[in-house]
């Protein structure tokens, strides 16, 4: 009975460990590396037995953790996990997993620039691969040894390690292949080929290769004196280094629970920061809208007050003009002199002039000389006409010409032809001037009466 319970307990632990392993694999893409490591560690804690099933799971878990630490440039941590993976695989006599563990340790030593240990691990993996007759694995190991020698500055030894073509490159070793080919191209002074492989390495999955490509591009940008590009590349390099340092500090604490709590607190702080930023943004937008509404209200009130004052001023000027007109009439009556020509006589005299007859039959817009002659004629008969127009605020050239044509007695259609305007434009201008002066809506004929009375 006890044996049965122990059996079921192991099976349950393995099943839960498998589920945690799957969650950890998925979280590599969706969450941070810390969360993935937490899931892997929890799975390892469940697998305490040394049976073949548990050892097989442990081999995978240690290998995945080693891969993850290597991607984050925590190479000593990666070596420790790969060594644990190798021990489990050795107990199971799993040659393929042992080769992968040696490869992982060799990669970590190579990135620590420990050439001797890296080559030693690759040689051990190669010995195992020969026994399994895995050609692709042998090719992969050859490129790894070539990369190790090239990083140590031993290009002749590196080139000698390259396998004879043709060879098949595993998809997971594409970055490694680009890395060694960039070194080989650069040593043979093939600049275009080297730049091609550096460009491919900037998209590599492993940070080590991306960092190497960035360093090479920085040197090239400095040589080309492209300092803007240098700043951008240094910023990318700094971000990669900070990412690795933060993970290293958290892992070295050795407390998985504390790491999880720190991760949770970090996420809560991030969410709180986002909410505070949103509240601040909404407050700024609300304040700006309130200021805009107040500004619009002030502008409307100011324009309304200005319009009212302008109408009151025009009304006062009109009343003043009417008083002055009455005084002029009374003074004229009091004078015992030859009476001046009446309005009808002035109109008849104007209509007998050449300029009047010319404008009456002209089919072309009025020229500057014609408008000057017309205005001079009106000013002779009505000396104060232009001054009174200015008093009413009529100062625009087209409006002044229209008022002079009204004074000469021309109709709307004739004025439209002489001023090169439409009939409706002339009518609207007269209505607008009447409203501007008197503050009332009325017809254009009322403005004509006002002009004839001046």
Handedness of CA 149, 113, 221, 225 (dihedral sign): negative
**How does the average pLDDT of the chain come out, rounded?**
78
pLDDT of residue 345: 77
Across 5-38, b (16+ Cβ under 10 Å) vs e yields: eeeeebeebbeebbebbebbeebbeebbbbbbbb
Q: Do 152 and 5 sit in the same domain of this protein?
A: yes
Q: Do 122 and 7 sit in the same domain of this protein?
A: yes
pLDDT of residue 137: 82
Contact 35/263 with Cβ under 8 angstroms? yes
Q: Do 92 and 51 sit in the same domain of this protein?
A: yes
Nearest to 47 by CA among 85, 74, 76, 12: 12
Q: How many structural domains does the chain have?
A: 3
- Map tokens 């702080």 to a residue: 269
pLDDT of residue 140: 83
- Map tokens 């140590």 to a residue: 152
CATH of the domain at 97: 1.25.40.10
Q: Do 211 and 64 sit in the same domain of this protein?
A: no
Domain boundary among 158, 183, 216: 158
pLDDT of residue 450: 80
Three-point CA angle 300, 305, 309, nearest 5°: 150
Nearest to 400 by CA among 410, 388, 412: 388
Count of C-beta atoms within a 10 Å radius of residue 158: 22
Give CA–CA dist 183/165, Å, rounded.
18
Domain boundary among 252, 278, 303: 252
Q: Do 12 and 154 sit in the same domain of this protein?
A: yes
The answer as to whether 73 is a domain residue is: yes
3-state SS, residue 190: coil
The answer as to whether 263 is a domain residue is: no
The answer as to whether 52 is a domain residue is: yes
The answer as to whether 266 is a domain residue is: no
The answer as to whether 294 is a domain residue is: no
Q: Do 133 and 40 sit in the same domain of this protein?
A: yes
Domain boundary among 219, 252, 285: 252
Q: Do 434 and 398 sit in the same domain of this protein?
A: yes
CA 302 to chain centre: 39
Q: Do 148 and 33 sit in the same domain of this protein?
A: yes
Give CA–CA dist 140/102, Å, rounded.
12
Largest CA distance in the chain: 148
Q: Do 151 and 177 sit in the same domain of this protein?
A: no
Q: Do 112 and 14 sit in the same domain of this protein?
A: yes
Count of C-beta atoms within a 10 Å radius of residue 79: 23
Local structure of residue 410 (DSSP, 8 states): -
pLDDT of residue 338: 41
Q: Do 91 and 235 sit in the same domain of this protein?
A: no
Contact 388/321 with Cβ under 8 angstroms? yes
Nearest to 18 by CA among 67, 57, 59: 57
Q: Do 89 and 7 sit in the same domain of this protein?
A: yes
Per residue in 20-46, pLDDT (tens digit) is 666 666 666 555 667 777 777 777 777
The answer as to whether 337 is a domain residue is: no
pLDDT of residue 5: 41
Ranges of the chain with pLDDT below 50: 1-8, 245-260, 262-263, 336-342
The answer as to whether 39 is a domain residue is: yes
The answer as to whether 192 is a domain residue is: yes
- Residue-range definition of the domain harbouring residue 211: 173-252
């Amino acid at each position: 009975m006890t044996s049965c319970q122990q059996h079921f307990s192991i099976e349950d632990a393995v099943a839960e460990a498998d589920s945690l392993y799957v969650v950890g694999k998925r979280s590599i893409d969706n969450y941070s590396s810390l969360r993935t490591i937490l899931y892997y560690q929890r799975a390892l804690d469940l697998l305490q037995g040394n049976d073949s099933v548990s050892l097989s799971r442990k081999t995978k878990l240690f290998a995945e953790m080693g891969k993850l630490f290597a991607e984050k440039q925590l190479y000593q941590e990666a070596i420790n996990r790969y060594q644990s993976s190798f021990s489990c695989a050795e107990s199971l006599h799993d040659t393929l997993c042992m080769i992968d563990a040696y490869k992982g340790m060799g990669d970590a030593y190579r990135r620590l620039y420990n050439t001797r240990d890296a080559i030693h691990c690759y040689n051990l993996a190669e010995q195992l691969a020969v026994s399994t007759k895995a050609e692709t694995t042998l090719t992969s190991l050859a490129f790894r040894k070539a990369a190790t020698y090239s990083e140590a500055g031993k290009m002749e030894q590196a080139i000698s390690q390259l396998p004879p073509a043709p060879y098949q490159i595993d998809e997971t070793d594409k970055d490694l292949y680009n890395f060694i080919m960039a070194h080989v191209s650069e040593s043979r002074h093939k600049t275009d080929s080297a730049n091609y492989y550096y460009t491919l390495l900037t998209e590599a999955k492993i940070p080590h290769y991306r960092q190497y490509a960035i360093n090479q591009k920085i040197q090239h940008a400095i040589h080309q004196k492209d300092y803007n590009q240098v700043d951008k590349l240094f910023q990318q390099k700094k971000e990669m280094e900070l990412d690795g340092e933060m993970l290293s500090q958290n892992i070295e604490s050795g407390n998985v629970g504390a790491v999880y709590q720190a991760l949770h607190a970090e996420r809560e702080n991030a969410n709180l920061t986002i909410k505070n930023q949103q509240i601040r943004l909404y407050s700024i937008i609300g304040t700006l809208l309130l200021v805009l509404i107040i500004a619009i209200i002030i502008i409307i009130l100011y324009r309304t007050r200005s319009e009212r004052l302008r109408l009151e001023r025009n009304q006062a000027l009109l009343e003043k003009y009417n008083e002055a007109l009455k005084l002029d009439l009374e003074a004229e009556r009091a004078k015992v002199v030859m009476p001046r020509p009446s309005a009808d006589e002035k109109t008849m005299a104007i209509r007998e002039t050449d300029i009047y007859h010319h404008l009456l039959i002209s089919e072309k817009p009025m020229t500057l000389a014609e408008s000057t002659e017309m205005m001079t004629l009106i000013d002779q008969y009505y000396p104060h006409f232009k001054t009174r127009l200015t008093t009413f605020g009529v100062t625009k050239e087209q409006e002044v010409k229209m008022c002079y044509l009204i004074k000469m007695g021309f109709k709307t259609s004739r004025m439209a032809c002489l001023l090169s305007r439409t009939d409706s434009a002339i009518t609207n201008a007269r209505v607008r001037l009447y409203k501007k002066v008197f503050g009332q809506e009325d017809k254009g004929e009322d403005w004509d009466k006002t002009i004839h009375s001046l």
